[in-house]
A and B are shown apart, each in its own frame.
Chain A
């Protein structure tokens, strides 16, 4: 492993930091010596208390420098910081001068640290003068943000992880926590062993989360709000409301119930709308109604929808109606996907927020402007992700800077995003990796530091702010994102306003803003003013704490709304009347509904997790999950390659047949991208329809056509190198401990593989070649007798070996005599290896002869009787005699 340099040269050096992957936000303890980096769960961290999931525990396998970007790149060539920054700054300045501030944009990421976010937001909204700053959190959290605001008056998650363990009933709504939030899931699984917690999963697909469920409701995709409207009616009709709570703390219940009743007057109607059995629905409703401690964990399954805000509010309505909020084990609980989606929300890194939970109301604008001394303050909302890239395509936004995210893969209608960036005059990208789908389209790429190198705060799903600490030096010329933005701001002329020495100064400023003039309004839930004067050394010892963190609550706040007070104008929670809506684009008769999501071991677009071979061993190729009856009807068999299409876009993946899937629906993992596969970006098939309230796209419901991919040719390539692509319609890449494996297929057999191999690997001149006549072709390339390339091509009906064994031979020195057998793709049965042939008439080998001699055979004739050797032409008799003599 290519280790990054360590910070200090001590024997063993440990650092407490946090995991950069999911929104659980586990604490990680890193211990390192000169040669090794090890990670383990931080025993002290409240989120995980020592545990880590498979992604977290492979962190050290992804921190080598392979594939890292170590220098600024301008127009594809290495450059210097000064000229790269000047180039982007000049372009931004000119564009702003000519076309106004709204002609430029930043697109950020929930992977950034709060400090990075803060600086970017401050620059764009306070000094460039536009709110065109949005983030990939738009793709996962925007619905919950607005739902929270509508109901509570602020974007605040009421509960904490502990509530999940204290609940008597847990609803998972559109959440495959087992894969997406493994440690939270493990905590619950453990608690369930100790106490009878009832678990209900609402998900069209049977997921791994259902493994611990008492009830799985495979409701029809997109019908969650009908479920909750039905529940609200059921609660009212069965006297399960908390009248006092409604009376004292809520507004708008009657209207909400009335609207719900119009859609779902009875449980029967709700059941048929959700396409589940009435019995099951009743069971779920009574779990909710009969128990006091109920937590509803909701996530992308309802957020990623064209009516995601409404779904969130329909769910929250039921919690309010029963007073199941602000108490131990009773709360709605939005769980975030990304490690710092919450932090981004807190600093206001979204186009429709200002900063520190303030919005674009005149009062708020003034507060922020005066705090920042802003020279050019944005005064209205900017473009949200989907609209933002549309504006890029239309040429309205002429310069964009993308930080720490890969929208060409992750955005809906991802091919359009690609076209937009191709058309844009200035695309700047900051990333830690050199080659991503997005850096491929950039004019300027800035090398950013990544986990382990950068330092700053993150906020997890339960409002806990933790410090992600650095333990390694920045490699090459990489800089922290906040530094890059600050340097850029200085180039634009904002020298004093962006003069920060380290992250602690930024954090302190952010904390100060959160408390600045906060007394004028109830609305600002987010307040960490306790840290307004934090110094560097306290900052570096920051203990995980849940906000609000103020002088009166200096240990943080576990639960919100315990006093029944909300952040609305009148302090009362709001019921939102919900008319449930089906997804916007509905499938034609022969179409399927595509749902997308995570798999267990990958993170986002795989730029980091794709580097660890063991994270690709659970699921190694892009796939499409389909119900057995659907597969049957379409003649699709397990692991057949299938093609999904809509609107000229396509996705190729291997069929996984499973009755976990509903009839007529498909599941496709979201991670694959052009670096890892030719045509397997789920995002390409997602319609860019969004929720009108929050702009979040409908990722969970895209009508697609599916058919079996009729291939003429398929194969496996193993190489110690990484290739940008293969010359086939389908290929997918799998990272190995050494090198990469590629599986591929094509509708035509048009590649001359022999020439392709010698051209692609032109430094190799030692090849072993197998021609199968009927199109089968296999070859091995060696350099100094070490295996460098193995290529196995066959007709579809010809079996191509699994890559594991052959992959283990890459880079190894291979015996000249045996090496052709590697082309078999698997080891032979060595017990049948006769050894060097002695008797060529009967092909009796030295191993067989020695075995007989060991068994006591002592003459040439006896050997002949046993093995026939020497009994035909007799020419081997001298050799047989020698063997007998030598082994006596």
Chain B
């Protein structure tokens, strides 16, 4: 008799989790995936490319419903889990279906955060998270002349870029003085801003949306600096809220997401959580790279308990990139050193190249690369391995090709 393995959510981590499980062909699980969305498993990251017209929806589907049939995985789409009964080990869906589990996996991800602005329920104000959101934005885009994107982080910029590619005049509203302030320092940020401005984007920085205005449909936003901007459409991309409420309801711990141990197990040994809905040691996730570890650790643990990932989840520095064509950007670790003498910077304004390394105690602790991202991963490796550097630090900046000799 096979054991029932039930997975809530069919996002990116689930896709990878299924791949990892399939590496154990003889495993003893009957798998059921319950998904609130209805598009199969798709590459959420690529929604930016879809918005920009660089990719089409079908191209980003990673696992279609047919895949599930072929691989004998039960897929319930368009059906959200609304309740879990730990005692009877079963879940209840929005359609009233019950599924019992031997092991339950939360992979509910996150959703776009809301902002403290008035009238967010007006029409034509969208988050940018799912195929559904993207479809709606695209449906309206044709009839729009101007757009507002709230949030000057990665997601906001990619959304703004995508809309601008469709000939819409886009203004990005960002709370900080400069865009991508978590990933870039001011110099890199300004180079990026200049480049995006040349491509037609507009920016309102150091300000926040106080209220959306319009009857029924959004027509303008009012900013806390007193100015007002007209728009036909608005996208909110200020951050994410982890989908942890369902877990919390049944007593799984956690402060921002569902708390798990390094082997992805919640306080209930029959329940695990992976992906953006999980929280390890107080840390939550917003990029895919660490999620691949989650998927692998849990699959190994369930199918081959003896060859568990050594020590479970390992926190590693992750580099971030921006998926805007023509923009090369790479950022990892610290963005600014406490002591400027720990920074090595290189600026070529005309070529639009900026590279910075932060070196503390003879070790790389951060890198910001703009315009030329060579050797970015090498820096990450040096950072992860905490390699002690010699005195030729300056040479590091030119990349790996320049250090061998």
Contact = CB atoms under 8 A, between A and B. Distances in A.
Given A773-B343, A829-B404, A837 B373 contact: yes
A277 B59 CA distance: 91
B132 interface: no
B212 to A, nearest CB: 31
A769 B347 contact: yes
Which A-B residue pairs are the 5 nearest by beta carbons?
A828-B401, A824-B398, A768-B348, A832-B401, A773-B341
A878 B48 CA distance: 14
A874 B351 contact: no
A798 B344 CA distance: 14
B93 interface: no
A829 to B, nearest CB: 5
Given A829-B404, A878-B54, A841 B395 contact: no
B328 A837 contact: yes
B344 A773 contact: yes
A771 interface: yes
Interface stretch (B218-226, B261-269, B386-394): B386-394
B45 A875 contact: yes
Nearest to A871: B292
A771 B393 CA distance: 12
Interface string A735-777: 0000000000000000000000000000000111111111010
A180 to B, nearest CB: 38
Nearest to B378: A843
B256 to A, nearest CB: 23
B40 to A, nearest CB: 15
Contact of A774 (B321, B341, B404): B341
Nearest to A843: B377
Nearest to A842: B377
A842 B319 CA distance: 10
Contacts of A778: 394
Contacts of B289: 841, 872
A552 interface: no
B176 interface: no
Given A828-B401, A830-B401, A768 B54 contact: no
B372 interface: yes
Interface in A8-25: none
B401 A840 contact: no
B346 A766 contact: no
A770 B350 CA distance: 14
B25 interface: no
User: Which applies to chain A's interface (DSSP): helix, strand, loop or mixed?
Assistant: loop
Interface in B301-349: 321, 323, 328, 330, 337, 340-349
A840 B373 contact: yes
Nearest to B345: A771
B64 interface: no
A823 to B, nearest CB: 7
A874 B45 contact: yes
A851 interface: no
Contacts of A590: none
B144 interface: no
Interface stretch (A32-40, A487-495, A538-546, A813-821): A813-821
B54 A820 contact: no
A479 B98 CA distance: 111
A826 B405 contact: yes
A768 B59 CA distance: 41
A820 B346 contact: yes
A843 B373 contact: yes
Interface residues of A, number: 40
Contact of A770 (B45, B344, B402): B344
Given A798-B392, A837-B328, A878-B55, A820 B402 contact: no
B86 interface: no
B211 interface: no
Contact of B348 (A798, A819, A873): A819
Contacts of A773: 337, 340-345
A791 B55 CA distance: 46
Given A819-B348, A830-B401, A843-B374, 12 more contacts: A769-B348, A771-B346, A773-B344, A774-B341, A776-B394, A824-B402, A828-B398, A832-B404, A834-B374, A840-B321, A841-B289, A872-B292
Contacts of B405: 826, 829
A784 to B, nearest CB: 11
A833 interface: yes
Interface string B363-398: 000000000111111100000000000011111011
Interface residues of B, number: 50
Given A840-B321, A840-B330, A843-B376, A875 B49 contact: yes
Contacts of B402: 821, 824, 826, 828-829
Interface in A820-866: 820-821, 823-824, 826, 828-830, 832-834, 837, 840-843
B165 interface: no
B43 A821 contact: no
A418 B290 CA distance: 73
19 contacts: A768-B348, A770-B344, A770-B397, A771-B345, A773-B340, A773-B341, A773-B342, A773-B344, A773-B345, A782-B350, A794-B394, A799-B392, A816-B350, A820-B351, A826-B402, A829-B404, A832-B401, A837-B328, A843-B378
A771 B345 CA distance: 5
A797 interface: yes
B344 A772 contact: yes
Contacts of B373: 837, 840, 843
Contacts of B375: 843
Contacts of A769: 346-348
B329 to A, nearest CB: 9
Nearest to A785: B350
Nearest to B391: A797
B353 interface: yes
B78 interface: no
A875 B42 CA distance: 12
B398 A823 contact: yes
Nearest to B322: A840
B377 A820 contact: no
Nearest to A792: B394
Given A820-B372, A823-B346, A829-B404, A770 B59 contact: no
A842 B376 CA distance: 9
B209 to A, nearest CB: 29
Contact of B346 (A768, A782, A842, A872): A768
Interface string B29-61: 000000000000001011001000011000100
Contacts of B282: none
A817 B59 contact: no
Given A766-B350, A840-B321, A842-B377, A873 B45 contact: yes
Contacts of B348: 768-769, 819-820
B251 interface: no
A384 to B, nearest CB: 54
A787 to B, nearest CB: 13
Given A837-B373, A843-B376, A872-B289, A770 B351 contact: no
B178 to A, nearest CB: 20
Contact of A798 (B328, B342, B394, B399): B394
B288 interface: yes
B276 to A, nearest CB: 14
B400 interface: yes
Contacts of B45: 873-875
